[in-house]
Amino acid sequence: MTTEAPLVLYNSLTRSAEPFQPIHPGEARVYTCGPTVYNFQHIGNMRAYVFADTLGRTLSYKGFKLTHIINITDVGHLTSDADEGDDKMEKAAAAAGKSAWDIAKFYTQAYWADIDRLNIRQPAKWSIATDYVPAMIEFAKEIADKHCYELDSGLYFDVSTVPDYGRLARHSTDEGEGRIETVEGKRHSADFAIWRKTPAGETRQMEWDSPWGRGAPGWHLECSVMSEALLGHPFDIHTGGIDHREIHHPNEIAQNQAHSCDADSGARIWMHNNFLIDRGGKMSKSSGEFLRLQVLVDRGFHPLAFRLLALQAHYRSELEFSFDNLAAALTRLKRLVMAVQPLRVAVETEVEDRRLLDLLARFDAAISDDLNTAIALTALEEAAAFKKVDTGQKRAVIARMDAVLGLDLLALDRANLRVRPADAGISETEIDEQLALRKEARANKNFAASDAIRDALIAKGVEVMDGDPLGWDWAVKLN
C-alpha cells in the first residue's frame, strides 16, 4: 500500500524541515527523554509521549526497523533545570517519608500504566538512569580533563570547550533564553554539573563513589550516556518537550561533542513537541491536585479521548486543554468507533478501490509531512464514512491508518466510551435496570410510570437519550 511520500521531519537544530535519511539504511534509532519519577506525570507530559509514539509508529509504517529508547530519570533531576534547588527524587522521598527507590518504583509503575492506557507502544527498552551510573562515571572520566573543572560542589562542564554551544537553543541570538548564574565559582553561567558531590556531613539516599567524591550524576549526563550506549553515536532522532530545547538538550549535545571529539551533536534530528497548556494552572505539579490522566478518567473520560485530543493539533503547536475540548474529542472518537464497528467481522483484503487508494495517499502525504496528524485524522474519518465499499478493503485501510494514529478503533468497545464519572450517584447496572423497566412501561402504554422513571434518573444526573444519533441510550451529566 502507498507509503510513497518522502518522510520529512522538522529539525530543531536547523529550524527547518528535512527529509529523513537514516544513518543505518532501513533503520531508525530514536531516543526520547522520559519522565522524572518523583511524582505522577501530568497530561502535558503525556502529550510528549503521544508525540514520540506517533513518530515511532510513523517510522514503522514507513518501513524502517525502529529501535526506540525511552529513559526513566530516577536520579539527578533538580527542581530547576539549571543547577539549582534540591534533587526532585530526594525531596519527594523526604516529603513522603519513603525511600527514593520506593518513590521511583511507584511512579514508574504509574507512568507505565498511563502509557498503556494511551495505547503508546512499548519502546525497545526503558532505560533506567540508576542502572547506568557506573557508565556515567566512565563517560565523565573520559571528558573530565579536557572539558571539565572541579569546584567544592562538584564537577562542572565548561561550555566554552565545545564548538557552537547552545546552537540548538539559539542562545546567542534573541531567540535564546536568559540564564542566571546559580553556582558559586562557575566559569560561565551556562556551565553545568556533571557530578554533584554530597556536601560534607550529609548523606543522600542515592549516592555513589566517584573520582570526584561521593555524590550523584548531573541530570544531563544520563541521556548522553544511555543514548550512546543503546543507539550508538551518532543516532537518528532525539525527542523531548520544547522546554528541553533550551537547557537539557544543548547540554547533552555539548557532552556528546566532548565525548566523541567531533562536532556531531549526537543525534541528527532533534524534535520537540510544544506544550499542552491549561489556563487554570492545573498542569503544575506544585498546584496540589494537578491534571493527570487519572483525573480525566475519574471525570468519566476514556483515556483515548485524550490521545485524540493530542492528535488533533500539530505537535509543534501549543494546544489548550479544557474539559470541553476533551468532550468534543470524545464525541469524535465515538463517531469513528461507531463507523468502523461493522468492520469488526470483516476480513482484510487487498485495497483496489480507487477512492480508498486516494485516501491512503492523502493520509500518507499528511503523516509524512512532519507528522500532520490533524490532516491524517480527516483522511481516516473519510475512509470510515465510506458506505458503498467492500468491507474487507475498508477494514484494511482503517487498520493501516490506525496503526499510525493508535486509537485502537477496531478493538474499542463503544460502551466503554460512555462518560462515566467515578463519583456518579448511580451505577451502570442500575441505569440499565431502570431503562429496561421504562421500556416495559412504555410497551404497556403506562406513560406515567415511564415518565416517573425518567424523572428519577434525571434527578440522579442521568440524561435519557431516546433516538440519539450516536446510539447512546443515556449519559451521566458532568458536575
Q: What residue 48 binds from Zn ion, ligand AMP, none (CB within 5 to 8 A, per partner kind)?
A: ligand AMP
Q: What residue 223 binds from Zn ion, ligand AMP, none (CB within 5 to 8 A, per partner kind)?
A: Zn ion
**76 binds ligand AMP per the rule CB under 6 A:** no
Please report how close the Cβ of residue 381 comes to ligand AMP at its closest, in angstroms: 25
Please report how close the Cβ of residue 248 comes to Zn ion at its closest, in angstroms: 5
Among 47, 117, 197, 362, binds ligand AMP (CB under 6 A): 47
Please report how close the Cβ of residue 40 comes to ligand AMP at its closest, in angstroms: 10
**48 binds ligand AMP per the rule CB under 6 A:** yes
Residue nearest to ligand AMP (CB): 241
Nearer to ligand AMP, 123 or 241 (CB): 241
Strand 65-72 with 125-128, pairing? parallel
Per-residue x/- marks for ligand AMP, 258-287, CB under 6 A? ---------------x-xx------x----
Determine whether 380 is exposed, middle or buried from the number of CB atoms within 10 Å of its CB (0-12, 13-18, 19+): buried
Which window, 25-33, 192-200, 318-326, 471-479, contacts Zn ion (CB under 5 A)? 25-33
Among 13, 33, 120, 183, binds ligand AMP (CB under 6 A): 33
Please report how close the Cβ of residue 27 comes to Zn ion at its closest, in angstroms: 22
**250 binds ligand AMP per the rule CB under 6 A:** no
Nearer to Zn ion, 139 or 474 (CB): 139
Among 68, 117, 244, 334, binds ligand AMP (CB under 6 A): 244
Nearer to ligand AMP, 117 or 394 (CB): 117
Please report how close the Cβ of residue 33 comes to ligand AMP at its closest, in angstroms: 5
Please report how close the Cβ of residue 344 comes to Zn ion at its closest, in angstroms: 41
Nearer to ligand AMP, 166 or 241 (CB): 241
**219 binds ligand AMP per the rule CB under 6 A:** no
Touching Zn ion, residues 166-225 (CB under 5 A): 223
> What SS3 string covers the chain?
CCCCCCCEEEECCCCEEEECCCCCCCEEEEEECCCECCCCCCHHHHHHHHHHHHHHHHHHHCCCEEEEEEEEECCCCECCCCCCCCEHHHHHHHHHCCCHHHHHHHHHHHHHHHHHHCCCCCCCEEEEHHHHHHHHHHHHHHHHHHHEEEECCEEEECHHHCCCCCCCCCCCCCCCCCCCCCCCCCCCCCCEEEEEECCCCCCCCCCECCCCCCEEECHHHHHHHHHHHHHCCCEEEEEEEHHHHCCHHHHHHHHHHHHHCCCCCCEEEEEEECCEECCCCCCCCCCCCCCCHHHHHHCCCCHHHHHHHHHHCCCCCCEECCHHHHHHHHHHHHHHHHHHHHHHHCCCCCCCCHHHHHHHHHHHHHHHECCCHHHHHHHHHHHHHCCCCCHHHHHHHHHHHHHHHCCCCCCCCHHHHCCCCCCCCCCHHHHHHHHHHHHHHHHCCCHHHHHHHHHHHHHCCEEECCCCCCCCCEEECCC
**100 binds ligand AMP per the rule CB under 6 A:** no
Nearer to ligand AMP, 76 or 166 (CB): 76
Q: Could you tell me how many residues of this chain bind Zn ion (CB under 5 A)?
A: 2
Please report how close the Cβ of residue 245 comes to ligand AMP at its closest, in angstroms: 9
Q: What residue 123 binds from Zn ion, ligand AMP, none (CB within 5 to 8 A, per partner kind)?
A: none
Cell triple for 363: 493520509
Please report how close the Cβ of residue 49 comes to ligand AMP at its closest, in angstroms: 8
**33 binds Zn ion per the rule CB under 5 A:** yes
Is residue 164 left, alpha or beta, with left meaning phi > 0 and alpha meaning psi from -120 to 50?
A: left
Contact 184, 151 (CB under 8 A): yes
Sites of contact with Zn ion (CB under 5 A):
33, 223
Sites of contact with ligand AMP (CB under 6 A):
33, 35-36, 44-45, 47-48, 240-241, 243-244, 273, 275-276, 283
